[in-house]
Amino acid sequence: MRVLIDGDIVVYRGAASAENDDQWIAQARADQMIQDILADTKASSYSVYLTGGSNFRRELTADYKANRPDSRPRHWAAVREFLVTQHKAVMCEGFEADDQLGIEQDKEHGTTIIASIDKDLLQIPGKHYNFVKKEFREVSHDQGLKALYMQSLIGDRSDNIFGVAGIGPVKAAKVLDPLLPEEYYEACRELYGDDARYHLNMKLLYIFQKPNDIWEPPTTTPEGGSSPEGEPTATGGVPNGTGPEKEQQQ
């Protein structure tokens, strides 16, 4: 089993836990988080991914994550460097670490598992491990698609993305629960009543499942149906930041 580790979460939690301590303590706590993840998942190998300085979502709108404070934990940069040097963490440029986790995830044979606490990643089919709650779960294609459209209705305040006014998790579930996956797009579109804002939010919320996998609305086929949901048209211009896999010592 290869575990795909959300390095952004490890860095932030490690650094924030040692705000008033020496740098080495923050690094040691981040290292311990990774060791615990490997032990819990019984991984034979692992890869760590970090978000770099560029991100296509910020080019789509300056509002993306504009609500987040500029300040970071004191040892944030030092812990990032530690993960790069000691754990061969891959810096993802042009997109986010979440996207590379989605690309690397084995959705067919279950040979990988994503280790994160980020609920956004539950739109990615396959195995998941929440290393804070110590919870394992498996997400099907349809469950992942539903999670994406649920989020489009609810929005994501932490990323400064606003969904449909007055709709929270309960109302969003009531909208989508009776529907087939291929009906999600039109149902959410009707509630938005604004294609430009709806499509922008979908591009911001959607996590890559293959390289250059920027979300596009479903297209109409010659027979009059829609293209398969969850398999958007890929567009160019976004690099693929695959990186080294590190063998776990037995």
Residuewise pLDDT in 10s, the chain (250 residues):
999 999 999 999 999 999 999 999 999 999 999 999 999 999 999 999 999 999 999 999 999 999 887 789 999 999 999 999 999 999 999 999 999 999 999 999 999 999 999 999 999 999 999 999 999 999 999 999 999 999 999 999 999 999 999 999 999 999 999 999 999 999 999 999 999 999 999 999 999 999 999 999 998 644 445 555 544 433 333 444 455 566 664 4
Domain ranges of the chain: 2-140+239-247
Tokens encoding 174:
């009531």
- Residue at 135: amino acid letter: E
Burial call 44-63: b when 16+ CB within 10 Å, e when fewer: eebbbbbbbeebbbeeeeee
CB count in 10 Å sphere of residue 210: 13
Conformation bin of residue 65: beta by default, left when phi > 0, alpha when psi is -120 to 50 = left
Tokens encoding 95:
């997109």
pLDDT value, residue 245? 66
Dihedral in degrees, nearest 10, Cα atoms 70, 7, 127, 219: 50
- Asked if 48 contacts 9 with a C-beta cutoff of 8 angstroms, the reply is no
What CATH class is the domain 2-140+239-247? alpha beta
- Say what the pTM is: 0.88
